Structure 1
Amino acid sequence: MGKEQLGIAVVGCGMIGRSFHMKALQTIPQYQIVGVWDAAATAAAAVARDFQVKTYADYQELLNDPAVDVVDICLPSGLHGEYGCPAARAGKHVIVEKPIDVSVENAQRLIDACEQNGTSLAVVLQSHFNPSIVKVKKALQDGALGKLIAGEAAVKWFRDPQYYQSSQWKGTKKLDGGGALMNQGIHTIDLFLWFFGEVRSLTSLVRTVLHPIEVEDLAIALLEFENGALGTITGSTACKPGFPERIELYGEKGSIALEAGRIVRWKVDGASESDYLDPVLTGSGSSDPGAIAIEYHQLQLAAVAEAILAGKQPPVSGAEALRSLRLILDIYRADGRWIHY
């Protein structure tokens, strides 16, 4: 009889680790939370107390623990590869929050380390588990819109000064890797690529207009996709008071719009819109990062456990997560010029 439960340790006890991953993991029977670790011992101790698990003296002690099958990394983005690679070499499966890392090189090292050591890698891009988004993806695959013509992805959020002042890594090039696109916009950009496919060329303007940070708080990109469609991406943390993220899709047979992960428009030839619209508003991080719904974290983390226990590749793979990272870095690189692939 195969293993029925995975021991998991959470690395990083900030808001994401504490309020999202720990809360989600404790609801999933396929996981047993073994312990937590954070470089800030007081943060780790507080989470360990609240969730009644143990702490580790250091990261190596965690990796040496035979009870740990999976290491769940909730550290600043620029540390994902640095901590994920040793976990893979220790024979642990690895889960990392988005983005996979802040550089393609570090992300690829993490992918390679997991492959070379026979361990699984999953990147948390939980919107893939939103039923409304899955419905849109299937409709596109079934040709509901026909040939795609254009699309818009907009994350016009707001973060107040306290958000950036609350930690030493937010808004820094080294550990945040970017601003409104890399941190806040990556989920929407990931979905945009999921819907439209590969990019043929792009140009952009990238600016820091409001916050005293090292990275952008406003960026706008124009893209041409391989399928011929045109698209725009807007990402900001300077749009007061903050507006729900939105994706609009236009095809030869109609248009579909998503707002905060729910379907708000389904104007498609031969379809009754009322059959597709979502009546309930889901959580958006437009002005409060803590307002994001936890349910899709639960769904993805459960799917990861099921895949690992079955010996399969868990969703979302490192290679898939690398696509949105590459695009964001190319948008930064373009800034006033065209990039052709």
Structure 2
Amino acid sequence: MKKLNSAIIGCGNIASMHEAAILSCHNANLYAVCDIDSSKTLEMKQKHRCQVFAQYQELLKSDTIDVVHICTPHYLHAPMAIEAMKAGKHVLTEKPMAISVSDALEMVRVSKQTGRMLGVSFQNRFNHTSRRVKEILNTGKTGRVLGARAFVTWHRGAEYYSRDKWRGKWETEGGGLLINQAIHTLDLLQWFMGDIDTIKASIDTRFLKNVIEVEDTAEATIKFKSGATAFFYATNGYPLDSVVMLEIVCEKAVIRMEGDVTIKYSNGDIEHISDDEKANGEKAYWGCGHKALVHDFYKKLPEGQHFEVDGNEALKAIKIVNAMYVSHKIKDYVEVG
């Protein structure tokens, strides 16, 4: 099988996850990297003997590149993805796919127009525990979903924002905790529970008031079209990055995800599910889903199959986050379109 030539645009922290996933993928070849910081591209060139670019526009001119991974600041995701697809490249972008619903819709339109695959890194869907929970819910074994709760308690201090000046600003990050950290849990909630009807949310900057413009704490009541309700809380003010807790109450079982999964059935049975592969190190709370997601993207490409976290699917999370910001402003429930 011919290997697909890959390029990574943006060589910051998250790029290492894409780098490792590409290198472990049997039909992908890390052909090029791009960053305005030459020290980062030089390091990658020395490790992998890949091509290096300082400007992404020059990278996109290469006919050798098949797939572009976008690992840049949030506000660059949409314009870079659109240019890449118009240049004939398939795109796998980090979340959020865009910082506005209108930009996300344009990405979806260009993907359809060009016939290029657009994927978004909601890697938590690819953790073994997440996929098993989804399978179990789909079987109907647990009965109708009645409600849920989710907690994201992580730490992002002043130094996190001072390292990268684009963070903490509405214009360049597109928001704070919700669009950056908690978006993964919001994505899982709607993936597990179905379409959302309305949301009422509030946001606040409780810990870094004089450091960032955006929120570091948020809560919401989320009403689903099925009739179920979820209660959500997230903060970046916790002393450490604790494991996300997500609990789903069904007619015949209670499913609790907190790293591993425990399912307590109403008949007394208990089922435990662990991830096949455990993440280690400072970013262990990210899980191991990046590799599985990237591998699936490259598997689907040559076969012309649908990639499950495409633009239309990832757009749902952007609409949820946008509805939460609007709800906070008007202090009322907002429909999620």
Query: Are 2:309 and 1:313 equivalent residues in the alignment?
Result: no
Secondary structure of residue in 2 paired with 1:238: coil
Map 1:29-108 → 2, pairs under 5 A: 29-108=26-105
Secondary structure of residue in 2 paired with 1:210: coil
Map 1:170-185 → 2, pairs under 5 A: 170-185=167-182
In structure 2, what is the equivalent of residue 168 of structure 1?
Answer: 165
CA distance in 2, matches of 1:226, 1:248: 19
For structure 1, the 5+ residue unaligned runs are none
Map 1:314-329 → 2, pairs under 5 A: 314-329=307-322
Which residue identity does 2:242 align to in structure 1? F
CA distance in 2, matches of 1:188, 1:47: 31
Map 1:1-341 → 2, pairs under 5 A: 4-17=2-15, 19-211=16-208, 212-260=211-259, 262-263=260-261, 265-270=262-267, 272-273=269-270, 275-278=271-274, 282-283=278-279, 290-293=283-286, 295-335=288-328, 336-340=331-335
**Could you tell me whether the CA contact under 8 Å between 1:154 and 1:247 is conserved in 2?**
yes
- CA pair 281-180 structure 1, distance change in 2 beyond 3 A: farther
Secondary structure of residue in 2 paired with 1:240: coil
Measure how far apart 1:215 and its partner are.
Answer: 0.8
Measure how far apart 1:181 and its partner are.
Answer: 1.3
What per-residue deviation string (whole Å, max 9, x for no partner) do you get for residues 138-171 of structure 1? Answer: 1111112212111012111111221111111111
Normalised by the size of structure 2, how large is the TM-score?
Answer: 0.93
Secondary structure of residue in 2 paired with 1:257: strand
Measure how far apart 1:43 and its partner are.
Answer: 2.2
- What is the aligned length? 332
- CA pair 143-171 structure 1, distance change in 2 beyond 3 A: same
Which residue identity does 2:212 align to in structure 1? I
**Could you tell me whether the CA contact under 8 Å between 2:37 and 2:54 is conserved in 1?**
no
CA distance in 2, matches of 1:241, 1:5: 40
CA distance in 2, matches of 1:279, 1:319: 28
What per-residue deviation string (whole Å, max 9, x for no partner) do you get for residues 268-315 of structure 1? Answer: 134631x42438894499xx5x33456321111111111111112223
Which residue identity does 2:332 align to in structure 1? R
- CA pair 280-6 structure 1, distance change in 2 beyond 3 A: closer
Which residue identity does 2:334 align to in structure 1? I
Identity of aligned residues (%): 30
CA distance in 2, matches of 1:173, 1:282: 34
Secondary structure of residue in 2 paired with 1:102: coil
- CA pair 144-326 structure 1, distance change in 2 beyond 3 A: same
CA distance in 1, matches of 2:249, 2:324: 22
CA distance in 1, matches of 2:275, 2:118: 35
CA distance in 2, matches of 1:241, 1:89: 42
Measure how far apart 1:232 and its partner are.
Answer: 1.1
- CA pair 98-57 structure 1, distance change in 2 beyond 3 A: closer
- CA pair 340-118 structure 1, distance change in 2 beyond 3 A: closer
Which residue identity does 1:310 align to in structure 2? E
- CA pair 126-280 structure 1, distance change in 2 beyond 3 A: closer
- CA pair 314-51 structure 1, distance change in 2 beyond 3 A: same
**Could you tell me whether the CA contact under 8 Å between 2:94 and 2:120 is conserved in 1?**
yes
Bigger CA drift: 45-54 or 162-171?
45-54
CA distance in 2, matches of 1:284, 1:136: 23
CA distance in 1, matches of 2:217, 2:101: 22
| Cα RMSD after superposing both structures | 1.9
- CA pair 279-21 structure 1, distance change in 2 beyond 3 A: closer
Measure how far apart 1:198 and its partner are.
Answer: 1.2
What per-residue deviation string (whole Å, max 9, x for no partner) do you get for residues 9-62 of structure 1? Answer: 000000111x21112211112101111011223322222223321202422221
What per-residue deviation string (whole Å, max 9, x for no partner) do you get for residues 225-276 of structure 1? Answer: 111111111121012234211110001112001013x20x211134631x42
Secondary structure of residue in 2 paired with 1:4: coil
For structure 2, the 5+ residue unaligned runs are none
Secondary structure of residue in 2 paired with 1:174: helix
CA distance in 2, matches of 1:51, 1:326: 38
